[in-house]
Amino acid sequence: MIKKKWIIITAVTTISLISGVLVGPVMSNVEIPNYEVLLTDQNIEIRRYQPMIIAEVEIKGDRKDAINRGFRLLANYIFGNNTVQKSIAMTAPVQQQENKKIAMTAPVQQQSNGDSWKVSFVMPSEYNMDNLPKPNNARVSINEISAKKFAVIKFSGFNTNNNVATHEKQLMSYAESNQLKITGSPKYAFYNPPWTLPFMRRNEVMVNINENQEINFE
């Protein structure tokens, strides 16, 4: 009986581990922002992002608490707490209001703003400022972002303060060594659902580079 019990426990554990490995990537198979990689240097990339629309909230508090609270507010918006404005044929300007679920995207982004944090989702590329559903919650703002150039460091593991700070320091050192002109504060990007195994996770620290800077690498 004891041997049989351990066989069952081992089987369940194995299935759970396999599920963790598979489910993470499957659940993360969502649209991400469109960008061009201009240069790759080990785990650091220089990217040019296309214009995008983001849904954003501003949250006071420590980083981990802010991203959790911000995520919930943004998820509430994309899962239907929004208003779609539609003109009805032959009866204009009468309008109809309805809720609409918006597809999930990755990553969820976080950026320091003094004593608070800005948490944002990039909206699916099918939307523009005219047809994107309007948030019912006034705390959620919709902003259009122009094309930008970023230096980005990629890393795995949990998004702990120590892990994030370690890679932010590496990225800033790289930027200084290569005389990159940084604008604004670093932005953090997390791509995976919470049940993804640490080694399967994709995390990034990003810094905005002056678009007009000529970058010459040795």
* Residue 211: pLDDT band with limits 50, 70, 90: confident
Phi–psi pair at 202, nearest 5 degrees: -115, 115
Contact present, 98 and 82 (Cβ < 8 Å): no
- 87-133 pLDDT, tens digit each: 545 544 555 557 889 998 999 999 999 889 999 999 999 999 999 99
Asked if residue 70 lies in contact with residue 76, where contact means CB atoms within 8 angstroms, the answer is no
Q: For 9-62, what is each residue's pLDDT tens digit?
A: 444 444 344 334 443 433 446 899 999 999 999 999 999 999 999 999 999 999
Contacts of 29 (CB under 8 A, 6+ apart): none
What global pTM score does this model have? 0.81
Residue 22 CB neighbours (<10 A)? 11
